[in-house]
Amino acid sequence: MDELIARHKKEQRDLVATITSLKKQASKKTRKAVNSKCTAMQEDLDARQRKEIRELNGEAHEEEENTEITPEQLLATLSVEDQMPASATDNGITSEQTSAPPAKKRNRAKEKLAKRQAQIDAIKAEAREEAANSVDYRAIEQESMTKLLDSQGLTLHEIKPDGHCLFSSIQDQLRLRRNLELSVSELRKAASDYIRAHSDDFVPYLFDEATMQLRDVNSYTEELENTAMWGSDMELLAFSKVYDCPIKVFMAGNAPIVFNEEGAGETLYVAYFKHSYGLGEHYNSCR
């Protein structure tokens, strides 16, 4: 417990330093978003630490179960017992020569193996029940998206699911609605240039969960421009500004999100999927 408490104190100190750094970097325009992010980080850390303390307090109750020998050890023990003869000599004296038969010993190995098997059977039964009652999120998402697009007079145009899917969706929309022929590389460069030129507008998007720090805008845009890094809200906002048009993003079960609603150009439409593709989050174009 002392070690856990010490680690928790260090995590709290580190988070205070991170939050202080983030707030110092925030401008008047981004202060509200940064403060919200800092509050969420503090709440997440507090919740995790409370959970770890509860789990630690429950370890003593499970100690006895953890000392059980493994199924492989139990099977080896049973194998040796099965190969032993029914009677054995002890210094030349057979069991018939003893005055009374020995009491039958309790086979603890078999008992533990049976208990272990019962636990495995219970886990399998629970897994079967969960599978039977599991929700097909993919089917729900696709059905909801179809109805949503139908209500808007739109149909889905499938985009290859890869790191370029957002950019390929915008490429399709610009070709369809603005008669612009642009490559994915050109679109990545356009977004990168805008983000670099208006970096203050993108501070809330630059927070890196892995390092708990704000990413350098130049390193971020370099990766965006020169790799297959996935695009997200940050790039959608940039495109809506670059091409001065609203971009409406449809999501199953949620109201559409519109970037740059005041844009003068024709609206571009894309659909966001969370459960329908093996690689995870995905964007398609809407025609």
pLDDT at 89: 41
Sign of the four-CA dihedral 279, 165, 223, 34: negative
165-192 residues labelled b (16+ CB within 10 A) or e (exposed): bbbbbbbbbbebbeeeebebeebbbbbb
The pLDDT of residue 146: 95
Q: Of residues 73 and 216, which shows the higher confidence score?
A: 216
Q: What are the angstrom distances between the C-alpha of 32 and each of 23, 39, 195? A: 10, 11, 20
What's the number of CA atoms in the CB half-sphere (13 Å) around residue 2?
0
Give tens-digit pLDDT for 54-109. Answer: 887 775 444 444 445 555 555 555 444 444 444 444 444 444 444 555 566 677 77
- DSSP-H helix ranges across the chain: 2-25, 31-57, 59-66, 71-83, 108-133, 137-151, 165-178, 184-197, 217-226, 233-242
Say what percent of the chain tops pLDDT 90. 43
Polymer length of the chain: 287
Cα distance between residue 200 and residue 209, in whole Å: 19
Give this prediction's pTM: 0.56
pLDDT higher at 137 or 223: 223
Question: pLDDT confidence of 20, banded at 50, 70, 90?
Answer: confident
Has residue 250 got a pLDDT over 70?
yes
Q: What angle do CA 26, 30, 35 make, to 5 degrees?
A: 75
User: Rounded CA gap, 141 and 241, in Å?
Assistant: 29
Lowest mean pLDDT, pick from 130-139, 158-167, 222-231, 274-283:
130-139
Amino acid 39: pLDDT: 87
Give the pLDDT confidence score for residue 6 in this predicted structure. Answer: 78
Q: What is the mean pLDDT of the chain?
A: 82
Please indicate whether residue 133 or residue 258 has the higher confidence score (pLDDT).
258
In this predicted structure, what is the pLDDT of residue 118? 81
